[in-house]
Amino acid sequence: MDSPIDSLHCLPQFTRPMAPQTASNSFTLPSSLPLDSGQDLDGVAIAYESYGTLSPARDNAILVCHALTGDQYVASTHPVTGKPGWWERMVGPGLPIDTDRFHVICANVVGSCMGSTGPASLAADGKPHAMRFPVITIRDMVRAQIALLDGLGIDQLHAVIGGSMGGMQALSLAANFPERAARVLAIAATARHSAQNIAFHEVGRQAIMADPAWADGDYYANEARPDAGLSVARMAAHITYLSEAGLTEKFGRRLQDKADGSAGTKSFGFDADFQVESYLRYQGSGFTRRFDANSYLYITRAMDYFDLAEEHGGHLGKAFAGTSARFCVVSFDSDWLYPTAESRHVVHALNAAGAAVSFVELSAPFGHDSFLLEVPALDRVVKGFLE
């Protein structure tokens, strides 16, 4: 089977001139993408990276789904930041997701800004969609992933894997396309966004929309971008990715060293006196160099809309009624964004559906971000599950 795949430069328009340019593969959906909103989105391009060799039987593919601000560069250098891939510790030759054995695919979600069609992409009139872009859902993202798999000629994945919003996609794929994955691994995820989850996202959206440079989303042709608002949104979100204990361990109340290298003292001003303040500011400003504010609005909205039970008559068990996949659900004891109770809720539904599921709560100090960080126990779980 020939796949209608072309390779091109697909970095988003908004990328600043100083950013290095590299190519991802890009796949243009052969037909319009039907959305949960009832709209159809035409001409959707999906940018993706792949690693390892697809077997002749096309049965060794693993789809890795990225989180809110992630992208397809799971194990490749990020073209804008120049940093290593976001899961290089997990994906590669001899690593738990072993590219000597598996063909690993990671696609930028629809609505994002690293090459897949999103608010920054050009609409039919030649101007960016901006806020004309339709509101999407996690299921819409998964529909695009499935269309990509169709294009690649992959009928069934060896596994679909994701952390955080990636885990939501994995669960949604299992529920809506049960025949497409033999194994489903959802890490630090949830089957629905809680009121607190929605509340934090709403703060971020309001921070972006409060920035005059947001200009109702029509900022792509402007010199000024809503960087200040996006930075605040990222700062607020970033706190939720870390644990209180982790922040205390990493920063405590330690003061910034002075420029001359001497120990810090309180400035009795509004500079970043505390290391944690400086760290957060750095996280916020760094994020604006690689992410589009409108994409942040759309993807957070998709996550807030996510309620897998609601999609299936209000019963999460029904969501998994048709599955014959094996599941693995992983939570972290220090994750207060999607705490273990949310994973347990998923596991109970899988049990009710008679699915094969293993569940592990790992102890790790890093909060929600544990799935991205050095947690050797996670490596063992992932490796074991893929056997």
State the minimum distance, in angstroms, from the CB of residue 197 to its own copies. Answer: 9
How many residues bind its own copies, per CB under 8 A?
Answer: 57
Residue 356 binding its own copies, by CB under 8 A: no
Alpha-carbon gap, residue 71 to 292, rounded angstroms? 12
Q: Helix (H, G, I), strand (E, B), or coil: what is residue 332?
A: strand
Residue 222 DSSP label: S
Which candidate in 335, 343, 369, 370 is catalytic? 335
Find, among 115, 119, 113, the residue nearest to 27 by Cα: 115
Residue 253 binding its own copies, by CB under 8 A: yes
Q: Do 170 and 145 meet the contact criterion of CB atoms below 8 Å apart? A: no
Task: Name which of 66 and 192 has its Cβ closer to its own copies.
Answer: 192
Residue 316 binding its own copies, by CB under 8 A: no
Task: Name which of 167 and 367 has its Cβ closer to its own copies.
Answer: 367
State the minimum distance, in angstroms, from the CB of residue 104 to its own copies. Answer: 33
Task: Name which of 142 and 276 has its Cβ closer to its own copies.
Answer: 276
Residue 254 DSSP label: P
Give the orientation angle of helix 195-210 with respect to helix 227-241, to 10 degrees.
160
Residue 28 binding its own copies, by CB under 8 A: no
Residue 215 binding its own copies, by CB under 8 A: no
State the minimum distance, in angstroms, from the CB of residue 95 to its own copies. Answer: 32
Residue 34 binding its own copies, by CB under 8 A: no
Which residues, 81 to 110, sit near its own copies by CB under 8 A?
none
Task: Name which of 95 and 336 has its Cβ closer to its own copies.
Answer: 336
Q: Which one of 74-82, 166-174, 183-191, 251-259 is the stretch in contact with its own copies (CB under 8 A)?
A: 251-259
The question of whether 172 is a catalytic residue gets the answer no
Q: Do 27 and 4 meet the contact criterion of CB atoms below 8 Å apart? A: yes
Which residues, 192 to 211, sit near its own copies by CB under 8 A?
192-196, 198-200, 202-203, 205-207, 209-211
Q: Which helix (H) or strand (E) holds 260?
A: none
Residue 54 binding its own copies, by CB under 8 A: no
Q: Which one of 5-13, 99-107, 225-233, 316-324 is the stretch in contact with its own copies (CB under 8 A)?
A: 225-233
The question of whether 335 is a catalytic residue gets the answer yes
Which candidate in 164, 231, 243, 295 is catalytic? 164
Q: Which one of 49-57, 79-87, 280-288, 373-381 is the stretch in contact with its own copies (CB under 8 A)?
A: 280-288
Residue 146 binding its own copies, by CB under 8 A: no
The question of whether 59 is a catalytic residue gets the answer no
φ, ψ of residue 41 in degrees (nearest 5)? -110, 120
Q: Helix (H, G, I), strand (E, B), or coil: what is residue 6?
A: strand
Task: Name which of 219 and 327 has its Cβ closer to its own copies.
Answer: 219
Sort 112 into a burial class: Cβ within 10 Å, 0-12 / 13-18 / 19+: buried
Alpha-carbon gap, residue 199 to 304, rounded angstroms? 9
Task: Tell me the DSSP string of 271-287.
Answer: S--BHHHHHHHHHHHHH
Alpha-carbon gap, residue 166 to 143, rounded angstroms? 14
Residue 292 binding its own copies, by CB under 8 A: no
Q: Helix (H, G, I), strand (E, B), or coil: what is residue 9?
A: coil
Task: Tell me the DSSP string of 310-326.
Answer: GGGTT-HHHHTTT---E
**Residue that is written with structure tokens 């050009």 in the block:** 122
Alpha-carbon gap, residue 239 to 233, rounded angstroms? 10
**Residue that is written with structure tokens 């390892």 in the block:** 52
Residue 373 DSSP label: S
Task: Name which of 50 and 256 has its Cβ closer to its own copies.
Answer: 256
Catalytic residues: 164, 335, 368
What residue ranges bind its own copies (CB under 8 A)? 36-38, 131, 134-135, 192-196, 198-200, 202-203, 205-207, 209-212, 228-229, 231-232, 235-236, 239, 242, 244, 247-248, 250-253, 266, 268-270, 272, 274, 276-277, 280-281, 284, 297, 301, 304-305, 307, 310, 336, 339
